[in-house]
Amino acid sequence: MAKNYHQRLMILVILLTLLVVLIGKLFFRTENPNILFYVYGSSVTIVIFVTFITVFFAYKDPYEKVRIRNFSKQKKPPYVSIILAVRNEEVVIGRCLDSLIAQTYPRRKIYVVNDASSDRTAEILDAYAAKGEITVIHRRRNVGKKRAIAAAMARATGDYFAFTDSDTVIESDAIEKMVAVMYDNPKIGAVNGHVRALNAQDSLLTKIQDTWYEGQFSIRKSFESIFGAVTCVSGPLAMFRREAIYNYIPAWTHDTFLGKEFRFSTDRSLTNFVLSSASIGPKLKKRHQNSPFVRKKDYPIQDWLVVYTACAHAWTVVPDTFHKVIRQQIRWKKSFIRSIFLTGRYFYKKPLPVALVYYLHILFVLLGPIISFRHLIYLPLTGNLLSAWLYLAGICYVGLLFGLAYRLRIPGNYRWLYRPLMSILSTLVFSWLIFYSALTIKKSLWHRG
């Protein structure tokens, strides 16, 4: 009872503070404000308020609705193919494979594609394969993550495809819970689990990232899941229905952007094929009609749902140096840019609230550096020194709200205090990488961090 009381109280505090800020922006503005910047600031606050209030009062974990199905009583329970692509992962691959082998869901098979590793990765994989625990596919030439995964999918027979990353550890019942969600609703084409940092205790930088991961999943993905439109089924813990993606694998592996193969946007682009299947399915299947992925089985076009379950857990290694974080952010921002021309072309067909938030988020990301420059450099140089402090205070405030949400989900964990630091980093450093990412978007290499 006390726990529920404190949770309700914290929710109330978060929503009331958001409401106060929103009212302040809408009704108590300075004289002669720049209308464009005023609308931008008010829109950001409104989106945050709507997102939080919707998640707190409307999100219902799809797994909580169905619990674990007793698949042993089904005549033909779903078969799951767990697929993993690796390259030079000798340090972490054993831990990942052990978590996959320990999965409680019995009807599954693990496929690991060694994408021309030059370290001991191949030797480690062969040792697991010799014990019959995994099936290994060795590639002599590096082909990239997408094509490595496609090589396994061409052989896999699962009703569902589950994906993870080599630096990730999955909770033993994660696959079983995700299968339950998929099995209960045949309209669900993909489901994303909950991911946090495996190495959160290592440093201040990893602690900060852990709080960010928590908010990205428990707040942002929860909001999208309410409308069945999660925009990115993240790689560390993802599951797709076979008929939702199988015919689109040729389009996925041969994705080009500005005339060159695009190796990034692995998770986002695959999710896009599920979200926009009804719009782009016939065209893509016609274009790749000679591919075995289309000839083997032509699945019917459907308007799929994509959801998130907070009950299926995974932990992934996050970058532990600032240089690695920067490289990761550049890779993600390239994926973000590519997704504008994929998901962005059809997302307006989704329910209005989630579509509006999606397009506004794109606008916020693109305009963010300009807003930062105005408040932190231009206005102080013209004599308005207070603007920089107020702007940074607002950024910290948003981070604090996500931190309180972290505290709400994980009582007793002090790391929620680090969340405002992630907001500061995003504003002062990461947001500016969108320009570099755009300028170097043709440069695509598959590497960790």
Please name the residue that has the structure tokens 């997102």: 51
Distance CA 54, CA 218 (A): 12
C-alpha count within 13 angstroms, C-beta hemisphere, residue 332: 17
Distance CA 9, CA 265 (A): 39
Question: At residue 268, does pLDDT exceed 50?
Answer: yes
> pLDDT tens digit string along 145-169?
999 999 999 999 999 999 999 999 9
Question: At residue 406, does pLDDT exceed 80?
Answer: yes
Tokens of 356: 């509006």
Say if 164 falls within a structural domain. Answer: no
Per-residue pLDDT band at 442 (split at 50, 70, 90): confident
Please name the residue that has the structure tokens 């998130």: 308
Say if 140 falls within a structural domain. Answer: no
Question: At residue 446, does pLDDT exceed 80?
Answer: no
Of 244, 239, 252, give the one whose Cα is nearest residue 284: 252
Question: CA torsion angle for 8, 10, 12, 16 (degrees, to 10)?
Answer: 180
Per-residue pLDDT band at 39 (split at 50, 70, 90): confident
Give the Å distances, CA to CA, from 288 to 246, 252, 259, 292: 12, 11, 18, 9
Distance CA 160, CA 183 (A): 10
Please name the residue that has the structure tokens 């990353």: 165
Tokens of 373: 């420059």
**How many Cβ atoms from other residues are within 10 Å of residue 96's Cβ?**
25
Tokens of 243: 């008929």
Across the chain, what does the average pLDDT equal? Answer: 90
Residue 309 main-chain phi, psi, to 5 deg = -115, 125
Q: What percent of the chain has pLDDT over 70?
A: 90
The domain in which residue 195 lies consists of 1-67+185-449
> pLDDT tens digit string along 91-124?
999 999 999 999 999 999 999 999 999 999 999 9
Coil, strand or helix at 411:
coil
What integer is the mean pLDDT of 2-14?
61
Distance CA 390, CA 51 (A): 23
Say if 430 falls within a structural domain. Answer: yes
3-17, 200-214, 272-286: segment of lowest average pLDDT? 3-17
Residue 448 main-chain phi, psi, to 5 deg = -80, 155
**Inter-residue contact 233 to 240 (CB < 8 Å):** yes
Tokens of 341: 């021309």
Q: Is 346 exposed, middle or buried (0-12, 13-18, 19+ CB in 10 A)?
A: middle
Say if 232 falls within a structural domain. Answer: yes
User: Cα 120–121–127 angle (5° rounding)?
Assistant: 95
Q: Collect all residues with Cβ–Cβ distance below 8 Å to 328 and sequence separation of at least 6.
A: 319, 449
Q: Which amino acid is at 339?
A: S
Taking the mean position of all CA atoms in its chain, how far away is CA 165?
13
Distance CA 216, CA 225 (A): 12
Catalogue the E-assigned strands of 65-208.
Answer: 80-86, 108-115, 135-139, 160-163, 168-170, 188-197
17-31, 274-288, 306-320: segment of lowest average pLDDT? 17-31
Q: Report the number of distinct structural domains present in the chain.
A: 1
DSSP letters, 341-354, are TTGGGTGGGS-HHH
Say if 418 falls within a structural domain. Answer: yes
Per-residue pLDDT band at 2 (split at 50, 70, 90): very low
> pLDDT tens digit string along 42-58?
788 888 888 998 998 89
Distance CA 400, CA 419 (A): 6
> pLDDT tens digit string along 317-347?
999 999 999 999 999 999 999 999 999 999 9
**Inter-residue contact 246 to 320 (CB < 8 Å):** no
> pLDDT tens digit string along 224-258?
999 999 999 999 999 999 999 999 999 999 988 88
Say if 125 falls within a structural domain. Answer: no
Per-residue pLDDT band at 1 (split at 50, 70, 90): very low
Distance CA 191, CA 309 (A): 7
Question: CA torsion angle for 119, 120, 125, 127 (degrees, to 10)?
Answer: 160
Per-residue pLDDT band at 68 (split at 50, 70, 90): low
Distance CA 328, CA 340 (A): 19
Bridge partners (DSSP) listed for residue 316: 168, 197
Q: Check: pTM over 0.85? Answer yes or no.
A: yes
Q: Collect all residues with Cβ–Cβ distance below 8 Å to 174 and sequence separation of at least 6.
A: 103, 193, 237, 312, 313, 314
What integer is the mean pLDDT of 355-361?
96
Say if 115 falls within a structural domain. Answer: no
C-alpha count within 13 angstroms, C-beta hemisphere, residue 69: 24
Say if 94 falls within a structural domain. Answer: no
